[in-house]
């Protein structure tokens, strides 16, 4: 079976399941093989009910003597099974899994796996995985994959079709030169792909992951190198005004720019007035004031008769930029044409916006990726500013070049990456670091607490809402999972609504919602039409809500520290005191030590470097760090050493064989051609 074959060709995939898999981004056999597990479960020996212990993840043998009960509420179905004798009873509960009752027939013996809670002498399990004894015997004492799912797709089904796809495919060619694999003791590709899904042991899983992580870094860096293909820095065709005009604007701000903001702005202005086009990365910690620096650079372009554009990752953030730019123009007493262009606009509205762009050669343009995807004709576009989620490489520059534009490029990043790693990942860019926070902002107060703090936490949320403030609550999952013991936004929102006062307005947000629905929910929160927003990490790159004063993060131990720091940065943007409550559901000392780093500091660069020191090879279960980089497995913090090795090999191979013409690089050349063809870009070697 070919990797490009449609997913429906895998045995067991019908029309309905094909549609559900496509929702997960799985269209081909290759896609399903790259749908890597999010975690692994090692299933222990199955116990009798009276052997269970509070707080443990356990497998329990259940003899079903009484029928399970299906309860229906307005919001969900709940399945309840009670079993046990001699005063030791177990109650198992499943939310939104009505089909589970089919496997709970009276007289059957089943195995349940999940977390055990002792509630006043009654053992309790929520969302346990259900097995027939003979099926459990197969997985007992083995590591089993846990995948990201969508509603209607179970972990067991996904495991089955991935195993089927692996068995149906011929061996894949290993593009990595043998000398590279030998030098770094990297596993063979076919072994790695098999073991990442179905590891024989923890050791083979670590080997598999290390090989696939090396692949991700190596291909990313090699693609960047080949995109450049000896490209020299282009001459600067734009001429910008000298003089004190920007100082006049800065003098009208209601605050003083920090030293880091002034230094970064000076570096940008020097680039824009220099001999070659700017390619600069601003690394600014959350709340360091990157947007005002970007806006001042855009004003310089506009005052010089040139257009500038800023590309945001979401429509809500693009609208927020438009609003804040209009407010700043009012503050400065100037009139500027600010044009917002987004993908969701009607065809008529887009035509009107494109006409404005064509008619105003000094416009400040704000938008999403529609800025390069739509048929926009720019007039003297001199500066493009983009968020790191839109890594702006040669392909995007070519998109503007085809429109007759050669703009300066400025990329803004809120991910605190140690400088050594940033140089590798953004090797073609100059780097400015903004490591100061405006003086008038109060430092966020942090606390790491356990489940016993739950009532106090909810009371604190009510108190802040009563004071007129707003609250973010972050959960790691969208909905309940049979195999993953963590809070999910769907059930959490309902439980929270039941525990808070009726007047508290609660909304739920997650990445599976349609863009228009997500935008509306964020707009409502920004406009204080809701008080509490329960969300997944989609708010990580979010709007500015100065009225939000509490960030409560459930299962904080499951997030990387860089990501937690990003989430915390959603609050502390107004003048009121803000708080970050991290709920730690883990008993491990390692989790406590990691969260203590965040608890003691609000400095993102310090947090990143300390976390880098604390973590070791293979320490990667459930704590993925760098959500902003587009890697499936690799993490720039955990895998910093592998990143360095991959960078060294890319440089060595390019120096030794610039066109990948050597016989030993034949498979690598084929691989790179595949990547460029998939991106619809030709590769000339």
Domain 44-141 is found in CATH 2.40.50.140: yes
Indicate the angle between helix axes 640-656 and 202-228, nearest 10 degrees: 40
Share of the chain above pLDDT 90, in %: 46
Nearest alpha-carbon partner for 477 in 203, 91, 86, 95:
95
Which tens digits make up the pLDDT trace of 40-75? 888 899 999 989 988 888 999 999 999 999 998 877
The pLDDT score that the predictor gives to residue 584 is 87
* DSSP-derived 3-state class of residue 156: helix
| Topology classification of domain 445-601+603-634 | Rossmann fold (3.40.50)
* DSSP-derived 3-state class of residue 406: coil
Q: What is the mean pLDDT of residues 106-134?
A: 91
pLDDT band (50, 70, 90) for residue 622 = very low
The pLDDT score that the predictor gives to residue 400 is 65
Nearest alpha-carbon partner for 276 in 233, 315, 242:
233
Share of the chain above pLDDT 70, in %: 90
Nearest alpha-carbon partner for 669 in 230, 226, 231:
226
Measured between its terminal Cα atoms, the distance across the chain in Å is 30
Q: Which two tokens stand for residue 678?
A: 């998939």
CATH topology match: 257-434 vs 445-601+603-634: yes
Backbone angles phi, psi at 15, to 5 degrees: -60, -45
pLDDT band (50, 70, 90) for residue 283 = confident
- Helical H runs in 360-444? 370-373, 394-401, 419-425
* DSSP-derived 3-state class of residue 408: strand
The pLDDT score that the predictor gives to residue 553 is 93
Q: Which two tokens stand for residue 65?
A: 């003597």
The pLDDT score that the predictor gives to residue 76 is 82
pLDDT at 139 over 50: yes
The pLDDT score that the predictor gives to residue 618 is 40
The pLDDT score that the predictor gives to residue 485 is 55
How many CB atoms are located within 10 Å of the residue 209 CB?
A: 24
As separate numbers, helices (DSSP H) first and strands (DSSP E) second, the chain gives 23, 24
pLDDT band (50, 70, 90) for residue 398 = low
pLDDT band (50, 70, 90) for residue 224 = confident
Q: E strands, 299-417, where? A: 307-311, 338-341, 364-367, 381-387, 408-413
Q: What is the mean pLDDT of residues 478-501?
A: 74
* DSSP-derived 3-state class of residue 216: helix
What integer best gives the mean pLDDT of the chain? 85
pLDDT at 665 over 90: yes
The HSE-up count of residue 226 (CA atoms within 13 Å, CB side) is 24
The pLDDT score that the predictor gives to residue 244 is 76
Strand partners, 382: none
* DSSP-derived 3-state class of residue 95: strand
The pLDDT score that the predictor gives to residue 542 is 55
State CA 44 to chain mean position distance: 32
Query: CA–CA separation, 434 vs 171, rounded Å?
Result: 48
270-284, 425-439, 645-659, range with the lowest pLDDT: 425-439
The pLDDT score that the predictor gives to residue 624 is 43
Q: What is the mean pLDDT of residues 112-140?
A: 90
Q: Model-level pTM?
A: 0.70
Query: CA–CA separation, 247 vs 39, rounded Å?
Result: 53
pLDDT at 189 over 70: yes
State CA 27 to chain mean position distance: 21
* DSSP-derived 3-state class of residue 295: helix
Which helix or strand (DSSP H or E) is residue 313 part of? none
The pLDDT score that the predictor gives to residue 231 is 59
| Topology classification of domain 257-434 | Rossmann fold (3.40.50)
The pLDDT score that the predictor gives to residue 587 is 72
Which tens digits make up the pLDDT trace of 13-26? 999 999 999 988 89
Query: What are the sequence ranges of the domains in the chain?
Result: 44-141, 257-434, 445-601+603-634
Which helix or strand (DSSP H or E) is residue 416 part of? none
The pLDDT score that the predictor gives to residue 617 is 41
Cβ neighbours for 402, distance < 8 A, ≥ 6 positions apart: none
pLDDT band (50, 70, 90) for residue 608 = confident
Strand partners, 365: 309, 339
Query: CA–CA separation, 46 vs 534, rounded Å?
Result: 36
pLDDT at 145 over 70: yes
Q: What is the mean pLDDT of residues 522-534?
A: 93
102-116, 429-443, 473-487, range with the lowest pLDDT: 473-487
The HSE-up count of residue 310 (CA atoms within 13 Å, CB side) is 29
Looking at per-residue confidence, does 336 or 391 come out higher?
336
Which tens digits make up the pLDDT trace of 342-358? 888 899 999 999 999 99
Sign of CA dihedral 214, 369, 423, 236: positive
Q: E strands, 368-525, where? A: 381-387, 408-413, 430-434, 445-449, 470-474, 506-509
From residue 445, give the alpha-carbon distance in Å to each of 117, 374, 455, 558: 31, 44, 19, 21
From residue 374, give the alpha-carbon distance in Å to each of 61, 320, 363, 515: 59, 21, 17, 18
Query: CA–CA separation, 194 vs 343, rounded Å?
Result: 40
The pLDDT score that the predictor gives to residue 550 is 96
pLDDT at 184 over 80: yes
pLDDT at 680 over 50: no
Nearest alpha-carbon partner for 290 in 324, 251, 336:
324
Q: Which two tokens stand for residue 326?
A: 């209009």
Looking at per-residue confidence, does 41 or 428 come out higher?
41
219-223, 250-254, 511-515, range with the lowest pLDDT: 511-515
Q: Are 558 and 481 in contact (CB under 8 A)?
A: no
251-260, 324-333, 487-496, 502-511, range with the lowest pLDDT: 487-496
Query: CA–CA separation, 558 vs 622, rounded Å?
Result: 5
The HSE-up count of residue 73 (CA atoms within 13 Å, CB side) is 8
């Amino acid at each position: 079976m070919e990797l490009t074959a449609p997913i429906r060709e895998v045995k067991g995939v019908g029309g309905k399941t094909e549609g559900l898999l496509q929702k997960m981004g799985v269209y081909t056999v290759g896609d399903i093989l790259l749908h890597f597990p999010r975690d692994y479960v090692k299933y222990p020996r199955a116990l009798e009910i009276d052997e269970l212990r509070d707080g443990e993840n356990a497998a329990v043998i259940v003899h079903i003597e009484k029928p399970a009960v299906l309860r229906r509420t307005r919001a969900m179905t709940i399945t309840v099974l009670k079993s046990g004798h001699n005063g030791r009873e177990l109650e198992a509960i499943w939310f939104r899994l009505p089909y589970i009752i089919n496997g709970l027939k009276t007289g059957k013996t089943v195995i349940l796996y999940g977390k055990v809670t002792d509630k006043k002498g009654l053992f309790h399990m929520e969302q346990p995985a259900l097995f027939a004894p003979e099926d459990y015997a197969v997985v007992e004492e083995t590591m089993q994959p846990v995948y990201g799912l969508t509603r209607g797709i179970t972990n067991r089904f996904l495991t089955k079709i991935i195993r089927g796809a692996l068995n149906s495919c011929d061996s894949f060619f290993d593009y990595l030169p043998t000398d590279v694999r030998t030098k770094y003791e990297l596993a063979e590709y076919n072994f790695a792909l098999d073991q990442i899904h179905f590891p024989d042991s923890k050791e083979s899983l670590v080997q598999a992951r290390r090989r696939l992580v090396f692949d991700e870094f190596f291909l990313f860096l090699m693609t960047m190198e080949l995109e450049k293909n000896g490209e020299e820095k282009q001459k600067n065709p734009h001429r910008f005004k000298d003089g004190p005009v920007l100082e006049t604007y800065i003098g009208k701000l209601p605050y003083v720019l920090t030293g880091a903001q002034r230094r970064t702005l000076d570096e940008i202005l020097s680039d824009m007035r220099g001999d070659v086009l700017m390619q600069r990365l601003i690394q600014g910690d959350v709340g360091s004031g990157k947007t005002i620096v970007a806006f001042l650079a855009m004003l310089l372009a506009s005052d010089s008769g040139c257009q500038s554009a800023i590309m945001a990752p979401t429509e809500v953030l693009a609208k927020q930029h438009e609003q804040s730019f209009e407010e700043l123009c009012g503050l400065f007493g100037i009139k500027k044409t600010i044009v917002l262009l987004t993908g969701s606009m009607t065809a008529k509205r887009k035509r009107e916006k494109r006409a404005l762009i064509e008619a105003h050669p000094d416009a400040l343009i704000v938008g999403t990726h529609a800025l390069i995807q739509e048929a926009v004709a720019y007039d003297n576009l001199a500066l493009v500013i983009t968020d790191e989620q839109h890594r702006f490489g040669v392909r995007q520059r070519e998109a503007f070049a085809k429109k007759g534009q050669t703009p300066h490029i400025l990329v803004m990043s809120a991910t605190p990456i140690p400088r050594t790693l940033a140089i590798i990942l953004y090797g073609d860019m100059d780097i400015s670091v903004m490591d100061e926070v405006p003086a008038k902002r109060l430092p966020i107060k942090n606390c790491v607490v356990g489940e016993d703090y739950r009532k106090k936490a909810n009371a604190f949320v009510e108190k802040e809402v009563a004071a007129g403030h707003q609250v973010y609550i972050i959960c790691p999952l969208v909905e309940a999972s049979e195999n993953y013991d963590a809070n999910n936004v769907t059930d959490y929102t309902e439980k929270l609504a039941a525990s808070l006062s009726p007047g508290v307005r609660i909304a739920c947000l997650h990445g599976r919602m349609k863009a228009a629905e997500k935008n509306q929910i964020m707009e409502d929160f920004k406009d204080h039409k809701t008080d509490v927003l329960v969300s997944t990490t989609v708010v990580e790159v979010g709007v500015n809500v100065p009225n939000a004063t509490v960030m409560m993060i459930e299962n904080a131990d499951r997030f990387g520290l860089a990501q937690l720091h990003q989430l915390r940065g959603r609050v502390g943007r107004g003048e009121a005191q803000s708080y970050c409550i991290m709920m730690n559901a883990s008993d491990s000392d390692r989790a406590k030590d990691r969260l203590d780093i965040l608890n003691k500091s609000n400095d993102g660069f310090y947090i990143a470097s300390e976390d880098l020191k604390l973590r070791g090879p293979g320490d990667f279960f459930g704590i993925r760090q760098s959500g902003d980089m587009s890697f499936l497995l690799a993490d720039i913090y955990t895998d910093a050493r592998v990143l360095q090795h991959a960078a060294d090999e890319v440089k060595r191979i390019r120096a030794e064989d610039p066109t990948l013409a050597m016989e030993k690089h034949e498979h690598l050349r084929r691989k790179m051609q595949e990547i460029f063809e998939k991106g619809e870009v030709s590769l000339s070697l």
